[in-house]
């Protein structure tokens, strides 16, 4: 580390220690003045973020780590930037606004440094150092935001899939799962997990998979259905597929998909009747049991 850089670090550290509250206030003001937030994050939360980041900057600067690695190498500073970015992501701020909010700290810091020196060279060296330091923080905040939003989207998609594939108890020991939309690999996994757990919880003997809401059935969809049926059978239950419309039956036949080992019905009502018969068997006169 050069003598000039050491002097800059000392100057910035002193400003942060002596004027931390002033820097935090100015940083919050800048974010609000520049309309860098399009969320419901309040001034109190902004101040809390500012205090955490400014407090973490001091040991980062004192560590002697090269300026380009201060943010990523200092645990407290890294955590402060990541935490700020994730909160903004959850609040719905844009990644650009989040990065600009972090970069606005430069102006607040430089104003604090100006109170200690008016020397042009010292101010220029401080500004260059702060740019290198906080540009990394801005990039980290952008990257963290994007990753955080992707995780939020994945979690919401998972929740949506779970909610869109409910398992319904239709009768004693008879469950049904109505499918709506495309049946892909991820959704098949959710369907199987929910259905198998429900079979265990309700001690079900028959599971009805209703595909009335599935627009088309191709080879991939048929394979997913077969996987579900096989998983249900491994649980010791029978499986009935309902909602096989004429167009779907024709497509399945044209594709040469063999569903001959699976009990299929055209409607959910027919499938329920077949399920009750599977459970109770025919009555003494050949009629279905009462299913009670």
- Of the candidates 162, 224, 227, the one whose C-alpha atom is nearest the C-alpha of residue 198 is 162
Q: What is the pLDDT of residues 221-275, one digit of tens each?
A: 888 888 888 999 999 999 999 998 888 888 888 888 777 788 999 899 999 999 9
Q: What is the pLDDT of residues 103-116, one digit of tens each?
A: 889 999 999 988 88
- Of the candidates 235, 233, 244, 237, the one whose C-alpha atom is nearest the C-alpha of residue 211 is 244
d(CA 29, CA 3) in angstroms, rounded, equals: 34
Q: Which region among 49-58, 136-145, 183-192, 199-208 has the lowest average model confidence (pLDDT)?
A: 183-192
Is residue 159 scored above 60 in pLDDT? no
Angstrom distances, CA of residue 1 to CA of 60, 67, 113: 15, 10, 21
Q: What is the pLDDT of residues 200-219, one digit of tens each?
A: 999 999 999 998 888 877 88
- Model confidence at 220, pLDDT cuts 50, 70, 90, reads confident
Report pLDDT for 281: 66
Report pLDDT for 224: 82
Q: What is the pLDDT of residues 22-78, one digit of tens each?
A: 999 999 888 887 665 666 677 888 888 899 999 999 998 888 888 888 898 889 999
Is residue 287 scored above 60 in pLDDT? no
Q: Which pair of structure tokens corresponds to residue 126?
A: 């401080």
- Of the candidates 73, 74, 24, the one whose C-alpha atom is nearest the C-alpha of residue 52 is 24
User: Which of 5-9, 191-195, 273-277 has the highest mean predicted lDDT (pLDDT)?
Assistant: 273-277
Is residue 127 scored above 80 in pLDDT? yes
d(CA 63, CA 67) in angstroms, rounded, equals: 10
Q: Which secondary structure element, helix H or strand E, spans residue 206, and what is its range?
A: strand 206-213
Report pLDDT for 163: 55
Dihedral over Cα of 23, 28, 31, 33: its sign: negative
- Of the candidates 245, 239, 244, the one whose C-alpha atom is nearest the C-alpha of residue 275 is 239
Angstrom distances, CA of residue 258 to CA of 122, 225, 230, 255: 79, 12, 14, 9
Phi-psi region of 64 (alpha: psi -120 to 50; beta: other; left: phi over 0): left
d(CA 37, CA 35) in angstroms, rounded, equals: 5
Report pLDDT for 99: 84
- Model confidence at 289, pLDDT cuts 50, 70, 90, reads very low
Report pLDDT for 282: 55
Phi, psi for residue 241 in degrees, rounded to 5: -105, 125
> Has this prediction a pTM greater than 0.85?
no
d(CA 169, CA 165) in angstroms, rounded, equals: 13
Q: What is the mean pLDDT of the chain?
A: 83
Q: Which residue has the higher pLDDT, 273 or 146?
A: 273
């Amino acid at each position: 580390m050069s003598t000039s850089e050491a002097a800059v670090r000392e100057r910035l550290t002193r400003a942060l220690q002596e004027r931390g509250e002033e820097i935090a206030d100015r940083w919050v003001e800048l974010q609000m003045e520049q309309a860098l937030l399009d969320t419901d994050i309040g001034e109190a939360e902004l101040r809390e973020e500012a205090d955490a980041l400014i407090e973490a900057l001091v040991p980062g600067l004192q560590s002697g780590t090269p300026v380009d690695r201060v943010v990523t190498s200092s645990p407290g500073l890294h955590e402060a930037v990541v935490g700020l970015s994730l909160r903004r992501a959850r609040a719905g701020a844009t990644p650009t606004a989040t990065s600009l909010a972090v970069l606005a700290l430069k102006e607040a810091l430089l104003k604090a440094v100006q109170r200690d020196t008016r020397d042009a060279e010292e101010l220029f060296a401080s500004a260059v150092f702060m740019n290198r330091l906080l540009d990394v923080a801005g990039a980290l905040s952008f990257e963290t935001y994007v990753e955080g939003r992707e995780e939020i989207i994945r979690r919401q998609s998972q929740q949506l899939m779970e909610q869109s594939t409910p398992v319904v108890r239709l009768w004693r020991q008879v469950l049904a799962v109505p499918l709506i939309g495309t049946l892909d690999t991820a959704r098949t996994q959710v369907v199987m997990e929910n259905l198998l757990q429900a079979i265990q919880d309700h001690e079900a003997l028959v599971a009805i998979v209703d595909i009335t809401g599935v627009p088309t059935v191709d080879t991939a969809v048929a394979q997913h259905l077969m996987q579900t049926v096989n998983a249900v059978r491994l649980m010791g239950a029978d499986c009935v597929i309902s909602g096989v419309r004429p167009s779907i039956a024709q497509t399945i036949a044209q594709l040469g998909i063999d569903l001959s080992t699976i009990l299929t019905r055209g409607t959910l009502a027919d499938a329920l009747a077949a399920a009750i018969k599977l459970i109770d068997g025919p009555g003494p006169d050949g009629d279905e049991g009462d299913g009670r």
